[in-house]
Amino acid sequence: MIRLLVNSVIAVMAVLLVAGLIALLAGRTLFAERGVPEIHSVRDDLEASHILFVFAHPDDEILVTELITRAVEEGIRVTTLTATRGEAGTQYPPIVDQAWLGVVREGELRRHGFALGIERQIVLGLRDGGVSDTPDGELADQVRAVISDVRPDLVVSFHPASAISLHPDHMAMGRAARSAAADLPVLHVLGPRPGFRRFGGENQRHVADLQPDPDLALDADPRLKLRAWRIHQSQTRYIAGTTGLPAWVLYSIWRQEYYAWADE
């Protein structure tokens, strides 16, 4: 009797496991862009020896953990430029008096950068939620000054029109990076359009409509994304709080980072 019960439990668990794997594979298929070339060497495929990432907030760098990790592993220098300290953000979960959130989030950013092996992290200290209030020319001048200082040969930033989420700060930094890097190649960070259209709300569907076709993809290790959210402790439940999905589920189906070259 006990053996029969044990065998029944094992059978049920096997069925659930197979069903879960089928659902996972189906989710990946529905979420992913099709036919996008996958790169295997950052140095060879992107012809980069020093990459500057230009973002708006602490935790934006989670979008590119795979690209950063591969670059560092190949001996490519990596610098990040973050416009704000994230002091106006919502805490997921609350861990500190809101007045000190900027200090905490900058610390989370720097701790995550250290874990990724980033050589240098620059924070401009602009007002969170108010980056777009800075005239585009002035913002571009600040990014241009960093480019002149660190001398990258590739700049990675938001696609100015879609910016992953249509966040005005993201869009402003995407415009600034594109303008400041006039003589350098610029790579825009994109989201998965099929996933955004099928599983996102109206905002994400609009993002998908504004995005260009991706030029390249990297197969992303979800463990890097999950580690990043654990380090960003004030935001660690952000995915669950905003999408209703546990982070491990989202990154099990969102398995690629997508990028597009900026137009000349």
Residue 10 has pLDDT above 80, yes or no: no
pLDDT given for residue 200 in this prediction: 87
pLDDT given for residue 263 in this prediction: 83
Euclidean distance between CA atoms 194 and 72, whole angstroms: 30
pTM: 0.90
Tens-digit pLDDT profile for residues 202-226? 999 999 999 999 999 999 999 999 9
Q: What is the percent of the chain with per-residue pLDDT over 70, rounded to a whole number?
A: 89
Residue 183 has pLDDT above 80, yes or no: yes
Could you give the maximum distance between any two Cα atoms of the chain, in Å? 77
pLDDT band at residue 29 using 50, 70 and 90 as cut-offs: confident
pLDDT given for residue 16 in this prediction: 42
Q: What is the percent of the chain with per-residue pLDDT over 90, rounded to a whole number?
A: 84
Tens-digit pLDDT profile for residues 104-149? 999 999 999 999 999 999 999 999 999 999 999 999 999 999 999 9
State residue 66 phi and psi, 5-degree precision.
-70, -45
Q: Are 79 and 119 in contact (CB under 8 A)?
A: yes
Residue 23 has pLDDT above 50, yes or no: no
Residue 4 has pLDDT above 80, yes or no: no
Domains, the chain, ranges and CATH? 32-261 (3.40.50.10320)
Tens-digit pLDDT profile for residues 61-96? 999 999 999 999 999 999 999 999 999 999 999 999
226 contact partners, CB below 8 Å, separation of at least 6 = 247, 248, 251
- Which run of H or E residues covers position 223? helix 222-231
Helical axes 222-231 vs 101-116, angle rounded to 10°: 150
